[in-house]
A and B are shown apart, each in its own frame.
Chain A
Amino acid sequence: MDFKSVVFYLFSAVLVFASLRVITARNPVRAVLYLVLAFVSGGGIWMLLEAEFLAITLVLVYVGAVMVLFLFVVMLLDINLDRLREGFWSYLPLGATVGALMALEMGVVIGGSYFDLFENRVPALVTDSNVKEIGRLIYTDYVYPFEVASVILLVGIVAAIALTGRQRRQTKAMDPAQQVLVKASDRVRLVSMPSEKLEDSVPQAGE
């Protein structure tokens, strides 16, 4: 086993372990952190395949941006863990059996000749910069899916704004721009009233 293989198996083991912990960790913050670990290990494997651009993007975008946002969300939400885990044990036997069967069947199928096949198909490593090669592909052969993907992102934005953006009528949020423009006269209105007798005061109180 050469050094590359050792590194590969190391990253893979970490990746599998971290992924398992994502779904088994009791604390959601920990789960998110394990997800970060999983991404980093995945980036490592990509790096081994000399796809350094993808590896860096994965770490930068997912770990740097998406996961941080995730962490904020998870920490801000009050998640009732016990309620979430209700019934876990009662579902476990069935779920585990199905999962194990699935894994077994896939293992039997894939475990055989698959990797040999793949060995022969490793694409010729690019001599040029990885970024350049991806850029070329994206803007030539894959321009159509690339554009469609951009439309999907646009729809994501539209959907997000439609679902959350516009002000609700019943909302109680404050508008700072309005707040700083406030004048003293808006806050207190002094009303001069003539002195009145006691019995008349009741009907006029509402003025």
Chain B
Amino acid sequence: MTLAEMPFILPDLRPASAELFVLAMACLILFVDLFVKDTRRTAVFALTQLTLVGAAVVTWAGTSGEVVYTFSNMYVHDFLADMLKQLLYLTDIIVLFYARAYVVDRPLLGRGEFYTLTLFATLGMMVMISANHFITIFLGVELLSLSLYAMVALNRDSATAAEAAMKYLVLGALASGLMLYGMSMIYGAVGSLEIGEVAERLQAGVANHSILVLGLVFLVAGLAFKLGVVPFHMWIPDVYHGAPTAVGLFIGTAPKLAAFAIVLRILANGLLTLSYDWQMMLLIMAVLSIVLGNVAAIAQHNFKRMLAYSAIAHMGFMLLGLAVGVVGGDARFTLNAYSSALFYVVIYVLSSAGAFGMILLMARAGFEAEDLDDYKGLNRRNPWFAAMLMMLMLSMAGIPFFVGFFAKFAVLQAVVASGQIWLAVVAVIFSLIGAFYYLRVVKLMYFDAPADPTPIQAPLEVKALISANGLAVALLGLFPDTLMWFCLLAIRLSLSVFA
């Protein structure tokens, strides 16, 4: 067989055009950055934002309700992927605007690499979102993680940042190892790594169940690390706290969307037959996360650490939705449960972006505004921002008529529908405990005297954006149904159970 005889068919590249576009632009920006003399890197910033907008346009142009596979079924293009990618671009754009002033003030951060690494991380998340094969999932996770490790360490003069990066790297490698080991076990039992095929062979019942479950445990552990749920959560507080706030903002938002996507694709699309086993694991981790996250957050004095524990609790809450999709082998509740979880994660990303955005807004050159005490008397320094942060906190606490309430409600009704009332009760009790630390922020802002009465200065676009972000949680509370409808649609059109 000579080279000319080898069968080579060019794969259909159209479904993946957004990924290709982002990759090309990232390389271009890497190159352009060499010739930019401006220390503010305005050109690089603008190009990055344009890339994200362009990617949104490309994705939008390719959106259809159909499920299309390409690259030998390693890549899947469906409505869920399109929706998550659009949310991802949006989150990125918001993140970069928030981070802009912060990184410009800090020369080590504000280099071209900050923007290119963001794009590469975004590419990694896009790969994860569209993955239909264990290998692509793993590579996407690695692409994302490697970029994030570097971003955390970018401020190399900071010892805490370096320490955080090191911890993140080592534990991330451990988690990758676990995930990879789990994948290899499943491959050994099933003989395939393609998600659809795995599902088919499991359905046919040819595999050794114990080995599958063993692989599953490792796989779920790896996924749980990415989501940051107990007991695989230890990196979250240290990384959120140690990383530069701009990077913490990025880590705390967009990757949750991608992690949700791979969890859904692996567990719900690939291993639904094993739902009994993984649902139990998810339930245990969910309850532990809700309990530990909410209780530990109370003891925090650092706003970033508090948000880190709140993230753990929120991800636990989201897992509840994923853990009640199948009841006694009956998949009737799947649509409702998974769309509630999707809704929850989207709302979480939105609120979390706003809260981190507030920290960035308050920070100045040489001042980080990350202690809770820095928020004392914010109402007197700037009533508008205090109101915005209050709305974000109330939404995160799940106070009615802010969108966070509906997110919690959606998940809880899914839990109740599955018949596990005790679970809903536990979740509600610990959400109430959690409300304490959110409301404490509100109390600090409104009832305490400011330590530093200077008014707050921030660029216009950040002010506008934070206002939009704060108002969004209030407005979405009035009009949550459209987003909920999109979530339902995404799950129904994209999950193989409904095909």
Contact = CB atoms under 8 A, between A and B. Distances in A.
Given A121-B191, A148-B143, A163-B150, A155 B120 contact: yes
B395 interface: no
A159 interface: yes
Interface SS of chain A: helix, strand, loop or mixed?
helix
Nearest to A110: B211
Contact of A128 (B1, B120, B142, B143): B1
A90 to B, nearest CB: 20
Contact of B140 (A117, A118, A148, A155): A148
A31 to B, nearest CB: 17
Interface stretch (A66-74, A75-83, A135-143): A135-143
Contacts of A149: 139
Interface residues of B, number: 43
With most chain A CB atoms within 10 A of its CB, the pick from B9, B74, B123, B149 is B74
Contacts of A141: 72
Interface string B87-125: 000000000000000000000000101001100100100
Interface string B127-154: 1000001011001101100110110011
Contacts of B455: none
Contacts of A159: 113, 117, 146-147, 149-150
Interface string A4-16: 0000000000000
B6 interface: yes
A107 to B, nearest CB: 11
B366 interface: no
A114 B186 CA distance: 12
Contacts of B136: 144-145, 148
Given A109-B214, A114-B188, A158 B150 contact: yes
A156 B72 contact: no
A98 interface: no
Chain A: number of interface residues, binned into ranges: 20 to 34
A106 interface: yes
A145 B150 contact: no
Residue from A121, A141, A158 whose CB has the most chain B CB atoms within 10 Å: A158
A47 interface: no
A162 interface: yes
B156 interface: yes
B210 interface: yes
B164 interface: no
A114 B189 CA distance: 8
B458 interface: no
Interface of A: 106, 109-110, 112-114, 117-118, 121, 128, 132, 136, 139-145, 148-149, 151-152, 154-156, 158-159, 161-163, 166
23 contacts: A106-B214, A109-B210, A109-B214, A112-B208, A121-B191, A136-B6, A140-B8, A142-B74, A145-B74, A145-B133, A148-B139, A148-B143, A149-B139, A151-B123, A152-B143, A154-B120, A155-B150, A158-B30, A158-B113, A162-B117, A163-B153, A163-B154, A166-B111
Interface of B: 1, 6-9, 11, 16, 23, 27, 30, 71-72, 74-75, 111, 113, 116-117, 120, 123, 127, 133, 135-136, 139-140, 142-143, 146-147, 149-150, 153-154, 156, 188-189, 191, 208, 210-211, 213-214
